Amino acid sequence: MKPSSLTVAVCQMTSSDDVEANLMQMENLLERIPDSAGVRAAFFPENALYTRLIEGEKIVGVEIHDEILRALAVIAKKRRLHLHLTTPVRLEHHVYNASLHINDLGEVSPSYQKMHLFDIALVNGPSVRESDSFRHGSGLKILEIDGWKFGQSICYDVRFAELYATYARQGVDAILVPSAFLVRTGEAHWEVLLRARAIESQAYVLAPAQAGVHHGRHGGMRETYGHSLIVDPWGTVQARLTERGPAVALHTLQSDEIEKVRRQIPMKDHRRLPVSF
């Protein structure tokens, strides 16, 4: 039976192209979560274990049995805690921008591959072609933790409402949006998109982000927007990380808050357009 509440942690990072340093940062963030808080799941941002900071540098991607993931699995098992992280992952000879789930038994599994890849050119800003390095994911995926259903997405996915309409039809309790928004687009669109996704899905939104200035081992630099958020099903921001670096926010999700919103505005009874993938 699904518990009526679930306490979670949203972990903000300033990752680099140094995988070992990023692992240490993740471990330090997990140490900030007290056992007494009763946290059942910790969520990390996009590019958690590797952020490319020199354009054109080859992205290899971790594999499911890599030692770096075994180190996190040991922590998950010891703390009886679910971990969710997003990073370049090699699956079946292809590299994906993907999320991984490490359950509280220390078992590692791929849980979602980013569907919408970030191929953009900002006026007076950077050009980015994510599809030069990554393969497109093939479909949406729901992750279940203690009976709670999490609809998964990654960063640029947040701009495609049809993805979340499908999750809403499947009655997810929360939506995950691990991200690494650039400053310019973050200032313009980050919060409004996340709050809209919570309102239209009538679900919590958990959005761990990369934040601050990232420096590469051999040069290269990038700045990300941060402002990791937890938004409730009414669209109210319940937690916001304003630090320009690593930080943690805890929040207890409440099923009665979800049901209260859905009773007041019964959108599932009013939908008229079909959504299919």
Radius of gyration of the chain (CA): 18
11 given a catalytic annotation:
no
In-domain check, residue 226:
yes
Set 63, 78, 114, 162: catalytic member:
114
- DSSP-assigned letters across all residues of 139-173: S--EEEETTEEEEE--GGGGG-HHHHHHHHHTT-S
Q: Distance between CA atoms of 106 and 126, rounded to whole angstroms?
A: 39
In-domain check, residue 16:
yes
Domain holding 83: CATH number? 3.60.110.10
58 given a catalytic annotation:
no
Domain coverage including residue 145: 5-270
78 given a catalytic annotation:
no
In-domain check, residue 12:
yes
Set 20, 27, 46, 243: catalytic member:
46
- Residue 57 tokens read as 């540098």
Instruction: Produce one character per residue of 188-209: b if its CB has 16 or more CB atoms within 10 Å, e if not.
Output: eebbebbbbbbbebbbbbbbbb
In-domain check, residue 277:
no
**What's the structural domain count of the chain?**
1
How much is the pLDDT for 133? 83
Q: What angle do CA 126, 128, 131 make, to 5 degrees?
A: 175
How much is the pLDDT for 56? 81
In-domain check, residue 162:
yes
Q: Which residue has the tokens 């601050």?
A: 212
In-domain check, residue 82:
yes
Set 20, 57, 141, 155: catalytic member:
155
How much is the pLDDT for 144? 98
Q: Is 235 left (phi over 0), alpha (psi -120 to 50) or beta?
A: left
Hey, what's the torsion of the CAs at 268, 269, 275, 277, to 10 degrees? Answer: 50
Q: State CA 79 to chain mean position distance.
A: 21
How much is the pLDDT for 274? 77
pLDDT digits (tens, 9 = 90+) for 192-226: 999 999 999 999 999 999 999 999 998 999 999 99
> pTM higher than 0.85 for the full model?
yes
Which residues in the chain land under pLDDT 50?
277
In-domain check, residue 275:
no
How much is the pLDDT for 225? 98
In-domain check, residue 159:
yes
**What number of other Cβ atoms are within 10 A of residue 55's Cβ?**
12
